[in-house]
Structure 1
Amino acid sequence: MARRIMYVQLKAGYDTDRGPSWIAWVRFSKTWKTAYFHGRTLRRWRGLFDANFYDVETGERFWVSGPKRDQTDGRYSRVLPEIDDDARGPYFEFLRGTRLSRREHG
């Protein structure tokens, strides 16, 4: 299973880009259509407005994407995400110029 540091934001129940967000390790299925994050199973769904994944248990919508070096991950908000402890080192190396691993397919 592929694992990658990602920007994840909860969209459900919040105004545009006002939901909590994280920089965290996210595991992906072989097809990249399912993501596993903080004990949640998220499925890709391209038909969602302002989100690209939904939680299969709660239906909550999420935006999942690779982090940006300029830290402008939220499109309309400049609120900085919470950084998971285990992602902190690799994320800060990325901000300093190190490349993150890329997904192989999808």
Structure 2
Amino acid sequence: MKPRIMYIESKAGGLTGPARIGRVRFSKTGATLYYAGKSFQSLKGSGFKSNYFDDATGDRYWISGPRKDGRDALYPTHIAPAVDADVYDEYWTQVRGLPAPPVRKAAD
């Protein structure tokens, strides 16, 4: 499968957690996702408020395709996800549909 921009939110601390927008790679079968040196296995529908878990730690995550309206979180939150530098322009122009990406904050 081709790498894809995805929304990745940690559920280790509860219903909402730190989130990122980044490029995810897939295994040949698509059952395993790879991001930032971690590998994630699908919970195959058995997860509660999560759909993947980190192979190394067992921590739960919500990983999904990003939405054009930016409402990517499983549960509404006022905290915007960080967007990885390597996908920043592509995310804002191709996914969110803006003519030009907003000025990047120093922390992103």
Matched residue, 2:69: 70
Alignment gaps of 5+ in structure 2: 100-108
Alignment correspondent of 1:35: 33
Q: In structure 2, how many angstroms separate the alpha carbons of the residues matched to 1:28 and 1:79?
A: 27
Unaligned 5+ residue runs, structure 1?
A: 99-106
Higher RCO (CA < 8 A, seq sep 6+):
1
Query: CA separation in 2, counterparts of 1:29 and 1:58?
Result: 19
Shift of 1:97: 6.4
Q: Distance in 1 between matches of 2:70 and 2:38?
A: 24
Q: How many residues align?
A: 96
TM-score in terms of structure 1 length:
0.84
Matched with 2:47 is 48
Identity of aligned residues (%): 36
Which letter maps to 1:48?
G
1:52–1:61 CA contact under 8 A, matched in 2: yes
Instruction: Specify the alignment match of 1:79 in structure 2.
Output: 79
Q: Which residue of 1 aligns with 2:14?
A: 15
The equivalent residue for 1:103 is none
Q: Which string of whole-angstrom CA distances, capped at 9 and with x for unpartnered residues, describes residues 21-42 of structure 1? A: 0000000112211000110010
Counterpart code for 2:76: Y
> In the TM superposition, what whole-angstrom CA distance separates every residue of 1:50-94 from its partner, at most 9, and x where no partner exists?
111101110011111000111111122132100000010110112
Please tell me the root mean square deviation across aligned C-alpha atoms, in Å. Answer: 1.5
Structure possessing the higher radius of gyration over alpha carbons: 2
Equivalent-residue separation in structure 2 for 1:78 and 1:4 (angstroms)? 25
Task: From the superposition, tell whether residues 86 and 15 of structure 1 become closer, same or farther in structure 2 (CA, over 3 Å).
Answer: same
